[in-house]
Chains A and B, each alone.
Chain A
Amino acid sequence: MNKKIVSAVLCGAMILGSAVPAMAGTADGKKIALVGKSAGNAFFEIAAASFVETAEAEGATVDTVYPEAATADAQIKVLDNLISQDYDAICISANDVNALQAKLQEAMDEGIKISCFDSATNPDSRQIFINQAGTVAVGQALLDAVLDIAGGEGQFAILSATSQAANQNAWIDAMKNIMESDDTYANLELVEVAYGDDEPQKSTDQTAALLEKYPDLKVICAPTTVGIAAAAKYLQDNGSACKLTGLGLPSEMLEYTGADDEHSCPYFYLWDMQGLGKLSALTTIALVNEDITGALDETFTAGDLGDYTITEADDGGTEVVLGAPLQFNPDNIEEMAKLY
């Protein structure tokens, strides 16, 4: 009985809603589910908040759902739940590349649009991936930072995570390729790639060892948040002339970032998580509205972010790339450190 009343009220609301087209959202009445890797990841939540804000401004309702554990099995249960409800789209940050395929295909068969962001599934499990930053763009940004901080020439080293870390290795390879193919970087010398295994102590030890081995080292580039924080502290505490850049969290890097000799890191990079959330929301809405299907070379306009073209991803699927990573420097770090 209760249900009937509720559904009658809802139907009435929908009729009223559709009768008033003045609300200019492009996604009025659409239901989108946003699925995280696990609850309590501050980094993800910045993107999620931005996603929700953007989609709701367009008139969609967004439910952010987290699995009970950071596993693919738990995400399968979440997807099962979501397929039972009448969502128009699911945007997911996947815990496993392949494990969700059966469920996501089931969802697509039910007419639910599937987009991925932050962490992609395999191409068969999605319609599009919203990539925070292309591998080459990250490599380029880091290498330019090294060139700039080193003053155009000299030795530099890389302090990475583990030797098998897929992301880090891809960025390092991109840096090496750019160095080989572009004369601009001819005077830079990459002396060593060290591995701090994403452990603070080991990263500190590796930083110390690099300084010991290469007294003329001008820059260390650490494309990992743990590595860069450890190295920043070591270099700053020891008043080293060697400078630092890489990928880091503003909140962890706040006290080490500055243009003067007192600070060890002039500037560093990370994804624009807010931008990622926004682009993900707008891309997902474009899928729902069938402005795009997720096929190669389609174009669409993502609000004030501008026009985007769908390109081929490294895994053979399709993606939109947000752009170059965001630079954190003394001008913006205090504000950004409050966010992440």
Chain B
Amino acid sequence: MAGKSGRSINNVPKSPVKQMIFSWEGILVLLFIAVNIFCANFSEFYNLKSLLRQMPVYLAEIFLMLPMAYILVLGEIDISVGSIVCLSATMACIVSNTGAPFIVVILAALLVGTACGAVNAFVLTQFEELPPMIVTLATQIIFRGIAEIVLGNGGSISVTNTEGFSALGGKVGRIPYILFLVLILGIIAAVILGKCTFGRRVYAIGTNRLAAYYSGIHVQKIRFIIYTLMGTISGLCALFLISSSFGANTTTGNGFEMDAIAMAVFGGISSTGGKGNIVGGLISAFIIVCLRVGLGQRNIHPQVILLIIGVLLIGAVGLPNIVKEIQKKAKMAK
């Protein structure tokens, strides 16, 4: 357990219960509860009803966190996802406006996303020595560039037939479909990363790529699959974005890659690879969502909200190190 999350504060073996409480995920759960208590006291309108109503626009970004977690565990990064979302959304709107059935629209969005992801994957696996940050920076510009050209003057498109997208944004009682989907995909992603051979290999690559390669892991095949899936999920995110705005424009998905990375890193997934798990990412994602909804309901200046999240993020990255330092000093003192 301790090794897997990589965020355990104490390396001395303890009982499983203690281990859970003192793991990073345990701290996140406590933080999640604290944030909710804070928000409920801070905003008189903060309750389950308003939270469920406001959640969907944020949930679309949590989709992106899932494959992003895999990429971070690989020790890599993909900053083109916001642009893939933009291009997928644009294409989905265009296909929708031709009068195609909604299933075709869904397929179009997923296909465009997958294709973009495959472009990243192809370049990164063909030219292994290229840094993912630079390659995906280039494709970030390229994908959004294509979307801007397609959108042309005015830079926005709206869907004329909103029926399918309205259905997608629907609810069971008060619970939006997207919440179920996030949780289902989250569980699948967590199980594959944490319990399956594929996931173990991802950790192996992230910990030591060369060692993983020499132990017979198809490093490039796994990287190809993950980057391509990142694209597919971006297409899914695009579909749900359209279901809230019934359109796409040149700013759609702007900055989503950083939000996804922030959620993952806050959740204890190390950007240097090999550490962290999906559960942490999911809890941290919901902490951020609750915080944004709660603070937003008191009309706090949006930049102040981002600032608070930034401080939390630095704290999250720094805390395990600080605790380790303190422990080291305590040991030395003994």
- Identify which of B293, B297, B302 contacts A67 (C-beta below 8 A): B302
Nearest Cβ in chain A — how far from B162, in angstroms?
Answer: 8
A296 to B241, CA, bound (A): 34
Chain A-chain B contacts (Cβ-Cβ < 8 Å), number: 96
> Is A81's CB under 8 angstroms from B297's CB?
yes
A72 neighbours in B (Cβ, 8 Å)? 156, 245, 247, 249, 251
Chain B residues in 8 Å Cβ range of A74: 302
> Interface residue tally of chain B, by bracket?
35 or more
Residue in A39, A66, A84, A99 whose beta carbon sits within 8 Å of that of B246 in the complex: A99
Q: Is the CB–CB distance between A71 and B296 below 8 Å? A: no
Cα A6 to Cα B41 in complex, Å, equals 11
A68-110 vs B, CB cutoff 8 Å, 1 = contact: the mask equals 1111111011101101111000000000111111110000000
Residue-wise, chain B 293-330 has the 8 Å CB interface mask toward A (1 for contact) of 10011010111011000000000000000000000000
Cross-chain contact A81 with B299 (CB below 8 angstroms): yes
**Quick check: B54 and A63 within 8 Å, CB to CB?**
no
Q: Is B244 an interface residue (CB 8 A)?
A: yes
CB <8 Å contact, B245 and A73: yes
Does chain A have a CB within 8 A of B215? no
Q: Is the CB of B246 within 8 A of A102?
A: yes
A191 to chain B, nearest CB (A): 26
The reply to whether A2 and B41 contact each other, CB–CB distance below 8 Å, is: yes
A96 with B249: CB separation less than 8 A? yes
Q: Mark B236-268, 1 if CB is under 8 A from A, else 0.
A: 000001001111010110110000000000000
What residue of chain A has the Cβ atom nearest to residue B292's Cβ? A77
Residues in B whose Cβ lies below 8 Å from that of A63: 299
CB atoms of B158 and A84 under 8 A apart: no
Interface string of A44-75 (1 = CB under 8 A from B): 00000000000000000001011111111110
Residue A7 at the chain B interface, CB threshold 8 Å? yes
A71 and chain B: residue at smallest CB distance: B251
User: What CA separation (Å) do A99 and B90 show in the bound complex?
Assistant: 13
Shortest C-beta distance, A37 to chain B (Å), equals 12
Given A68-B306, A73-B251, A85-B297, check contact A80 B53 (CB 8 Å). yes
Distance A99 CA – B243 CA, assembled complex (angstroms): 10
Taken together as a complex, chains A and B put the C-alpha atoms of A103 and B241 apart, in Å, by 13
Contact B247–A99 (Cβ < 8 Å): yes
Bound CA span A193–B297, Å: 48
Q: How far is the CB of B149 from chain A (nearest CB, A)?
A: 14
Question: What B residues does A96 contact at CB under 8 A?
Answer: 156, 245, 247, 249
Contacts of B252 in A (CB 8 A): 71, 73
A338 contacts partner chain B, Cβ-Cβ < 8 Å: no
Q: Which residues of chain B are within 8 angstroms of A213 by Cβ–Cβ distance?
A: none
Any A CB within 8 A of the CB of B153 = yes
Let me know if A164 is at the binding interface, CB within 8 A: yes
**Inter-chain contact A98/B247, CB cutoff 8 Å:** yes
The answer to whether A76 touches B57 (Cβ under 8 A) is yes
Partner of A66, one of B54, B156, B254, B301: B301
**A80: chain B residues within 8 A (beta carbon):** 53-54, 57, 296
Residues from chain A with a CB closer than 8 A to the CB of B57 are 73, 76-77, 80
**B244 lies within 8 A of A76 (CB):** yes
Task: Identify which of residues 129-171 in chain B touch chain A, using a CB-to-CB cut-off of 8 Å.
Answer: 153-154, 156, 158, 162, 166, 169
Q: List residues of chain A with CB within 8 A of the CB of B305.
A: 68
Complex Cα distance A98/B165, Å? 15
A81 and B246 CA atoms in complex are apart in Å by 19
Docked CA distance A84–B43 (Å): 10
Shortest B304–chain A CB gap in Å is 10
Indicate if the CB atoms of B251 and A69 lie closer than 8 Å: yes
Q: Residue among B244, B293, B301, B303 with the most chain A CB within 10 A?
A: B244
18 new A-B contacts, CB < 8 A, other than A73-B241, A83-B53, are A3-B44, A65-B299, A67-B302, A68-B303, A68-B306, A69-B255, A72-B251, A73-B57, A73-B245, A73-B251, A73-B254, A77-B58, A84-B297, A98-B156, A99-B156, A99-B158, A99-B246, A102-B245
Task: Pick the 7 closest A-B CB pairs, nearest first.
Answer: A68-B302, A98-B158, A84-B50, A99-B245, A71-B251, A81-B296, A80-B54
User: What is the interface of chain A, defined by CB distance below 8 A to chain B?
Assistant: 2-3, 6-7, 33, 39, 63, 65-74, 76-78, 80-81, 83-86, 96-103, 164, 166
12 A-B contacts (beta carbon < 8 Å): A33-B299, A39-B301, A67-B302, A69-B254, A71-B249, A71-B254, A72-B251, A78-B302, A85-B45, A85-B297, A98-B158, A102-B244
